[in-house]
Structure 1
Amino acid sequence: MEKWRSIDYEKLLQNGISIERVQREMKSLRLLCERYDIHLGNLNEDSSTRS
């Protein structure tokens, strides 16, 4: 799944980045974090577990 999403994002990046797209992604991330009670500052990017 991670590889598929990585490829998907690489294709989107080739078309350029818009402020609207970044805002949508940030909103999605914020909503997911709120739903699962995760604080962005506590995320460990090197693992799939909470720090």
Structure 2
Amino acid sequence: MQIPFKFYDYQLAIANSHYQLPITNYQLPITNYQLPITNYQLPITNY
């Protein structure tokens, strides 16, 4: 039941431009987390 509820929430967010703004803000930290992940791969290659 949670899946259809989430789909409904996403549709509402797409419909409301105001909701899209926070969604983009959340994507920014996600990219920031990927950076440290790549840094961890570097030491692995050194070993």
TM-score by length of 2: 0.45
In proportion to residue count, which structure has more helix?
Answer: 2
TM-score by length of 1: 0.43
